Chains A and B, each alone.
Chain A
Amino acid sequence: MKNYVLRPLYAIIALVIVVLIIREFYVPKDFATHGESYMYGWHRKSNEDEWKAFKVKYKFDNEYCKDCHSDKYDGLMQAPHAIIKCENCHGPALDHPTDPSKLIVDKSRELCIRCHASLPYPQSNRANIRGIDPDKHNPGIECSMCHNPHKPSLEGMK
């Protein structure tokens, strides 16, 4: 074959070799399909451990709170609000009580009206929750002025 035909071919072969060498060093050793399909399996295996090591913020375990805050816990357990986890309102516990030493006490109306702003949608569970019109029901006042959030029934009114 003529030389002018082969010359670009040599260049292409050289380029492929260079790319393969770079790939050998650049691509991590654990980058493979790991027994999965070629279409969905390619990944760096060690990334699974990186996600596994992601920090857990929420304990979502009311029993964890019970040991120190038994007074609040006992009251809450008798109220309809027992279905709500402590951390839903007080924020993620993280390493409480070490870090942070104090959790949030959110007294905003916005927190309560997430559920208790009246939306009478017939096909939704929302219709079964006692609701108020936030614009008409004592606007501007914190709900906790009258209702105890841990025991919010009318008997528990402050």
Chain B
Amino acid sequence: MITRRNLIKTGIAGLALPLASAKIINAAETLFPERFEKPNIRWVFLVDTRKCVGCGLCVKACKHENEVPYDTNITRTWVERYILTKDGQVFADSPKGARDGFIDKKINLGEKGSRNVKDEDIQKAFFVPKLCNQCESPPCVQVCPVGATYKTEEGIVLVDRDWCIGCAYCIMACPYGARFFHPVHKVAEKCTFCYHRLKKGMKTACVEACPFGARMIGNIKDPDDPVTKIIMMERIAVLKDEYGTSPQVYYLGISKEVR
């Protein structure tokens, strides 16, 4: 028979178990606070496409700084040229990832050769620098079968070169094509936001190399950071938002044709 006394007794006993387990989780956090402390940093990137001139000095600097083989057609960052014609055609090219800049009007169509668009037929033409989006939900990390790629506390996605088995799942998983295979180390390779430079208080090589200030890096957790202010105040866009990756490279002055 349920009496008031019995109900309270069993009620306390029934609640005690789940509450105790919750306490254990909290206890771990109290015992090892250093394990749960997170730095107040989240690195994000901002690209102002209106300032970019397509000189490719960022690509050159990145390849030298990060020991990416210079003459091989791979790169951690690259610049794309978009040309939209008045009759509605869209052309995009990035010869050698724009390592040597854009030096003529010919559009590189890969195996199909090249194509010339007359100045008067151009509706819009501009350059878009690209690099790893350091996603908040990185699909490349999710698919790694061995835990060789991971997101650091500051939000940067890195590859463990000793632990990577070179299966290339991550290269296929990235919707931005930001990953590639490193021909020397034989592992997956990607932009690290120049992790080694950020940790020394420097900015990334591509940001420093850009003479026009088209590339910026900042800490979105710092409300006084100029990059954070622009992201909060201006009209910005990210690439392929619909993939649900929460990319952290923000763009100013972008057009819907850019993918």
Contact of B209 with A60 in the complex, beta carbons under 8 Å? yes
Q: Which residues of A contact B64 (CB under 8 A)?
A: 57-58, 91-92
Contact of A53 with B196 in the complex, beta carbons under 8 Å? yes
Complex alpha-carbon distance, A122 and B84, angstroms: 11
Q: Which residues of A contact B52 (CB under 8 A)?
A: 124-126
The count of A-to-B residue pairs whose CB atoms sit within 8 angstroms is 147
Q: Which of A47, A51, A125, A134 contacts B53 (CB 8 A)?
A: A125
Closest Cβ of chain A to B48, distance in Å, is 9
Q: How many residues of B contact A (CB 8 A)?
A: 60
Interface residue B124 (Cβ < 8 Å from any Cβ of A): yes
Contact of B125 with A134 in the complex, beta carbons under 8 Å? no
Contact of B127 with A40 in the complex, beta carbons under 8 Å? no
Closest Cβ of chain B to A108, distance in Å, is 10
Stretch from A13-21, A64-72, A111-119, A142-150 at the B interface: A111-119
Whether A114 contacts B152 in the complex (CB less than 8 A), given A124-B50, A124-B126, comes out as no
Contact of A85 with B208 in the complex, beta carbons under 8 Å? yes
Interface residue B57 (Cβ < 8 Å from any Cβ of A): yes
Q: Please name 10 pairs of A and B residues whose Cβ atoms are closer than 8 Å in the assembled complex, sorted by A.
A: A56-B196, A56-B197, A58-B208, A60-B208, A115-B101, A120-B119, A121-B126, A123-B125, A123-B126, A134-B104
In terms of DSSP, what is the predominant structure of the interface of chain B? loop
Which B positions have Cβ atoms within 8 angstroms of A?
35-36, 38, 50-57, 60-61, 64-66, 83, 100-105, 119, 122, 124-127, 137-138, 141-142, 147-153, 158, 160-163, 192, 195-197, 199-200, 202-203, 205, 208-209, 211-212, 214, 253
Which A positions have Cβ atoms within 8 angstroms of B?
31, 34-36, 39-44, 47-48, 50-58, 60, 83-85, 87-88, 91-92, 110, 113-115, 117, 119-126, 129, 134
